[in-house]
Amino acid sequence: MDLARNLIGRINVGDSLTRTAAARPGQLAVAAGERRLSYADFNSYVNRLAHGLAGLGYERGAALALASGNSADFLAVYYACAKLGVVCVPVNLGWQPDEVAYVLGHSQARGIVVESQLAAVMQDAIAKVPEVLDVIVAPGPGPGDEPPSQEPADRAWTTMAALTAHDHAAEPERFVADRDALSYLYTSGTTSFPKGVVGSHLAIYLESMSAALDAGFRADDRFAAMMPMFHTAQLNGFGTPAVLIGATTYVLRGFDPAALLDLIERERITQIFGLPIMYRALLDHVGFAGRDLSSLRRATYAMAPMPDELIRRCLDGFGCDFALGFGQTEMSPVATFFQPEHQLSHIGAVGTPVTGVQVSIMDPGGELLPPGQAGEIVYRGPSTMTGYLHDDEATDQAFAHGWFHSGDVGWFGDDGMLWFTDRYKDVIKTGGENVASIEVEKAVYAADPRVAEVVVVGLPHRQWGEAVTAFVVTRPGETVDAGELIATLKTSLAGFKVPKAVVFTGELPKTSTGKIQKNVLRSEYAAYYTTPEGADREA
């Protein structure tokens, strides 16, 4: 296919910005602090950046890493890469230098865009990968757009300002195939370095369309972007759909209850997205009761279903619809959507498949299971990843039996509702029985409202093999008696599911996107039941 034919009918995420800018040039696209860009201005900026990158020699298939907090420039780099057919490789800002260096090398990144205040931090990782030739410094949230004072002699340092300091804002017409990679998104590693998920233009474009359709996004929506843009949930679950439909994105550097509440009131925000713990923090914030949140149409949450008590507080406190997006990076990311009308009728479910995604339950032998039977949740659909970068074995395992294997355990009700039981790796095997950690976590939340956070894992135990163990964070100023909590749980759970111990802690280990790291707890407390504190816990 020649370039002219490619430009007419292709699927390219960058084209969604081009077309929205043509249809809604004056609409506010991105607001980040004092910086406000209409769709026409944002598209012009992206095009100038794309031409600047092309001038450095970036061609179709080249990889460009991106280490930045939430900003207009993060989005600009993503869309400039898309228009050029360059693969964007977002860097998780929670990674250690060795992990960053691994990703730079594994993705074969030719260069990296680094936010100015992160440049010094990233230098050690960049220095370990001589194949990274270009370092492009982007403006940070404060003043300054200059490279660090000590630049490695073997690197070509430049700035976003320099790359965009020209008037060439025409569309960069490059041949890009539908299934060309748009991004390499690296999943959080638990026992090794993360895997690179290859996301194509087709997969992410179609996921953006289904997310906008099933979630009812509108052009007059005003989104607050507070989750990390380097994570697929914020970037492709909300960012690309917002551009596709011509909505406005208000960029926050991170989650701050007071700042978010101020933004909702000041800018009349209609859509917010966060984790269940963030909604709890907002409800508990000292100034929450006096806020005008009447502009909100919907609040979406992810990572896990909300406990009964919390979702009821949210519905009462925010006065808007709530919904859950469920999926994973490999699905670009949304696979099912738990609609507002089901929040109280199916508490704890994860919804129904989004448009374009087929969901089934499979046994270990590859047979699909009927409603009511639990097994692995598997997916089919064009929004599925292309595969794992440079890892054919992992890709083949993930695509066994003609489905993508999620690693999640779940089951369907007769009404088509999907229920998530647990991650396979988080199912606790105790005394010959299997216990879903999430079931116990829900019971703990229901048992005592003074519990702010709980996570349940299996720890090595001489009698039980694995002992069900609850790690609890209480609400500020509150105390909970472990014995009383366990006694209460015995009235609602089967005996083998009741925690053998409750461990109180000030905080739980989490990834930069707020996901609780159960593997860290299992490692740090592996010897708990051999210590004086835990040795006698056999009841």
Report pLDDT for 539. 43
152: pLDDT strictly greater than 70: no
For residue 224, give the nearest of 297, 317, 319, 136 by alpha carbon.
297
Report d(CA 349, CA 345) in Å as an integer: 9
Report pLDDT for 190. 46
Report d(CA 412, CA 427) in Å as an integer: 18
Could you tell me if 255 and 289 are in contact, meaning their C-beta atoms sit under 8 angstroms apart? no
Query: What is the share, in percent, of the chain residues with pLDDT greater than 70?
Result: 95
Beta-bridged to residue 353, according to DSSP, are 336
Report pLDDT for 211. 96
Q: Which segments within 91-200 are labelled E, that is strand?
A: 109-115, 134-138, 156-159, 181-186, 196-200
Q: Tell me: the pLDDT tens digits for 287-326?
A: 899 899 999 999 999 977 888 889 999 999 999 999 999 9
For residue 418, give the nearest of 508, 505, 358, 500 by alpha carbon.
358
CB atoms within 10 A of CB 183: 30
Task: Please give the average per-residue pLDDT across 381-388, as a whole number.
Answer: 98
109-115 and 134-138 beta bridge pairing: parallel
Task: Please give the average per-residue pLDDT across 324-329, as a whole number.
Answer: 95
Helix then strand then coil, in percent of the chain rounded to 5, is 35, 25, 40
Domains and CATH numbers, the chain: 3-21+32-202 (3.40.50.980), 255-423 (3.40.50.12780), 427-530 (3.30.300.30)
Report d(CA 96, CA 77) in Å as an integer: 23
Report pLDDT for 26. 98
Q: Tell me: the pLDDT tens digits for 466-497?
A: 999 999 999 999 999 999 999 999 999 988 89
Query: What is the share, in percent, of the chain residues with pLDDT greater than 90?
Result: 82
Write down the residue that tokens 């699909």 correspond to: 368
